Amino acid sequence: MFQSAAVFCGSKPGSDPLFSQHAATLGALLAQHKITLVYGGGNSGLMGIVANAALENEGNVIGVMPKSLVEREFKHDRLTQLHIVEDMHTRKKMMYSLCDAAIILPGGYGTLDEVIEMMAWNSLSIHDKKIILLNSAGFYDPLVQQFFIMKEKGFLYADPASAFTVVDSPEAIFGTRLS
């Protein structure tokens, strides 16, 4: 298992209630397993839900937020630590350095940027972090399919199945149920 996990997800909750349910369960499970949550530092959307659930279960929560998003993403004011950084690149680099693994929940452009960059850095041996896609309600099915198309068409060096793990529930990450 890992000691810290970067969680990348939306600053909005999305349209399916399962997204919020999975975010809350994940936050609680991270705290239960004494795994530090590293995330974007916001208090809205799935980001806020996962952080609040971890905090409610006495978890360690580290936020990393660029100055430009402090007001836009409603900076969380109850975190264990909050790093305000210069820009998005610095945010991602710090989050990657603070985590042993990444868990990807549903999200928008920023979430996709973060997961793709982590996968690229793994493939370039810049780091070797475990990447877990939490495929809530099949959200990532088309993206996973695209990765296999990229391999089939000759653009990837390695089998995409070795680049990430796909799970359908937060409990599947830990092999346990929330107690």
pLDDT at 23 over 70: yes
**Residue 7, phi then psi, degrees to nearest 5:** -110, 120
The predicted-structure confidence for 137-154, as pLDDT tens digits, reads as follows 999 999 999 999 999 999
The predicted-structure confidence for 80-99, as pLDDT tens digits, reads as follows 999 999 999 999 999 999 99
Between CA 30 and CA 115 the distance in angstroms is 19
Are 20 and 52 in contact, with CB atoms under 8 Å apart? no
pLDDT at 75 over 90: no
Dihedral sign for Cα atoms in the order 128, 177, 29, 52: positive
108 Cβ contact partners less than 8 Å away, ≥ 6 residues apart: 10, 11, 12
Which domains are seen in the chain, by residue range? 4-174 (3.40.50.450)
The predicted-structure confidence for 24-72, as pLDDT tens digits, reads as follows 999 999 999 999 999 999 999 999 999 999 999 999 999 999 998 886 7
pTM of the model: 0.94
